[in-house]
Chains A and B, each alone.
Chain A
Amino acid sequence: MTTPDIAMKKSRVPADLIEIGAMFGLLVATVSFFTVMAPGFFSPGIFTSMAYQLPELGILTLAMLLPILSGGLNLAVTFTANVAGLVAAWILVQVTGDASAGIIIVAILAALATGALIGAAIGALVAYTGAHPILVSLGFMILLRGAGEWFTRGGDISGMPEFFRFVGHGTLLYVPVPLIIFIAAVALWVLVLHYTRLGFSIYMIGSNAKAALYSGIDVARVQITLYALSGLMSAVAGIVMLSRFNSVRIGHGESYLLIMILACFLAGANPFGGFGRVLPVALGLVSLQVISSGLNLMGVSQHFATATWGIFLILVMVIRAPFQQR
């Protein structure tokens, strides 16, 4: 990337608006399509159902987004989430007798710390060994999976206190709690990526790590921080899943991994890093959920629904191609 920073910054603003507008248009298109095709789609029931389903995949995708923006990848997100969930579950199960709000807060903090720690370890390895993030995070993915299977003996930890279910199944002013958590997570990511020095550094490292280093960015520190944040967000997803499923097992949500990566690319994140915004990703995720719920409502085979996600992702990339000559 030889263009000076200032020029890039200027040209990015309208591109952003086009991107968000396009993703919003796509969302409107999918919603309209199913409103016509699937009788009963445009109903409170369906939107409530989507509001409960979207956050798990959504929060995990946000965890994946930061490494992708930096030109890396974090394949360990689902297992980080479940290991963090295991930690929280383990603490909660110890005190099933009287689960006070205090214990729940301790469990949540411990889970977040676990996630951040795992992320920081991945980041440190990426930063100091220079190994490709795919290799490092793949190693961690296998490590966490094995450790989790061993710890739980392939089974699950279940039977969370009644109050804890609120996180995954409750509502606050008629809005499902998981959705509120997801919106807060999106807001946090917008803040970090677009309004802090860290966010700017992440984009710069993604564009050209060497140039970023020579321009005085502490690349190692930024990488450790961004993977720690990715781990932290995975832990949030782990907590939501723990509550939604009333149990944690190391394999929960395993099937989401590839979908998460694709959802990032769907919204214009560049596989080689440096480009991509949070809001298009969030809108893209809502579109994917609309497709999945809409097809379910039409009673279409789940395998076909998965294929449709694939078609959708390919279609978006084909349409995008002419505009991506940056």
Chain B
Amino acid sequence: MSRFSKMAASLLAATSALAAPALAQDELTIGVVVKIGGIPWFNAMEQGIVSRADELGVNAFMVGPTSDDPALQVRAVEDLIARNVDVIGIVPNDAWVLEPVLERAREAGIVVISHEADNLVNRDVNFELVSSTDLGNAHANLFAEATGCEGSYAVFVGGLTVPAHNAWADAAVDHLRELCPNMRQAADRFGVAESVDDSRNTTLDLLRAHDDLAGIIAFGSQGPIGAARAVEERGVAGEVAVVGLFSAGQGQALVHRGSITGGYVWSPIEAGEAFVTLGAMLANGESLTDGAEIDGLGTVSYNDGLLFANMPLELSVDTVDGLAELGL
């Protein structure tokens, strides 16, 4: 029986240490959970979070899980609730998985701000620096111009359950269908674009399987990089269009060599800043209104918890060096 009592004692210690008071926090604290830590995009976002926090005099930090397993994001949010932060920012890998834990966060009185997840229910506001339709259309225009509306194409997304990527892909495919009625999609969407290797392998397979492949539209930060490498390996750089959003620093050389055609993006630094700006506003009880002018976001459109700025950034031979210098 002594084993049982020891076990019971340890678990009691773990669950019923309810007497210790939670640490009082005078400083406004904002924790932002991103998809995965240690990749350039989210390193840049962290830069934005930290610098904006310094400007506003709040305590803001980023939590980057070690893999894109959604279970790790749930754990990170749980620890933020325990830490008693004022605002939780979230860039979900899988919106459904996070609903219950975000519901608990809001019950605990925490403001929840999401990014790249407009269908998330348990949040106060979701913000995008550019609307999915605008972003999808911009890519479709560029793609139509680059391919001359001939051949087939494939679409990469970060994952089939990543809401924003699929919304852009929907918009791009719809718009492309209007622009180029003769083009066809070679295969179903691929959820490979957070991995350079998977994007490269998939592109190699597609090039082998489809003689008329005119190009790849890739959403997800590693997609164009992998696709461009595959295109270079097969010696068709410039002939097969690679359009999508990527980190400028990572894709700089590929753009100059012509293997990445171009794309549109928004700045993760500005997104990081927006988390802190909006977090501070909401935590201080300010409300968001349509047409408002917000510092760092410009004039925004706002409707029922969805906030859109209009700040696309063009990625092209002309802009990519400047953006790379900014650390993107």
Contacts and interface: CB of A to CB of B under 8 A. Distances in A.
Interface of A: 16, 20, 24, 27, 31, 39-40, 42-53, 56, 153-156, 158-159, 165, 168-169, 174-176, 179, 183, 186, 190, 241, 244-247, 249, 251-256, 279, 282-283, 286, 292-293, 296-297, 299, 301-303, 305-306
Interface of B is mostly: helix
Contacts of B94: 156, 247, 249
Contacts of B289: none
B37 A302 contact: yes
B96 A52 contact: no
A244 B100 contact: yes
Given A20-B3, A190-B3, A244-B74, 13 more contacts: A40-B83, A43-B22, A44-B17, A45-B82, A47-B15, A49-B82, A51-B15, A156-B94, A156-B161, A190-B4, A249-B70, A296-B80, A299-B61
The 10 closest A-B pairs by CB, nearest first: A40-B23, A49-B82, A296-B79, A158-B96, A45-B82, A247-B96, A245-B97, A255-B69, A44-B18, A46-B82
Interface of A is mostly: helix
B42 to A, nearest CB: 11
B126 to A, nearest CB: 18
Interface size class, chain B: 35 or more
Most chain A C-beta atoms within 10 Å of own C-beta, residue among B3, B10, B23, B37: B10
Contact of A49 (B20, B38, B63, B81): B81
B14 A51 contact: yes
6 contacts: A45-B22, A155-B161, A156-B161, A252-B97, A254-B67, A255-B69
Contact of A302 (B23, B64, B83, B99): B64
Contacts, number: 152
Nearest to B31: A299
B100 A282 contact: no
A283 B161 contact: no
A165 B17 contact: no
Interface in B210-256: none
Nearest to A182: B11
Contacts of A244: 74, 100-101
Given A50-B14, A286-B10, A292-B75, A306 B20 contact: no
Contacts of A40: 22-23, 83-84
Contacts of B37: 301-303
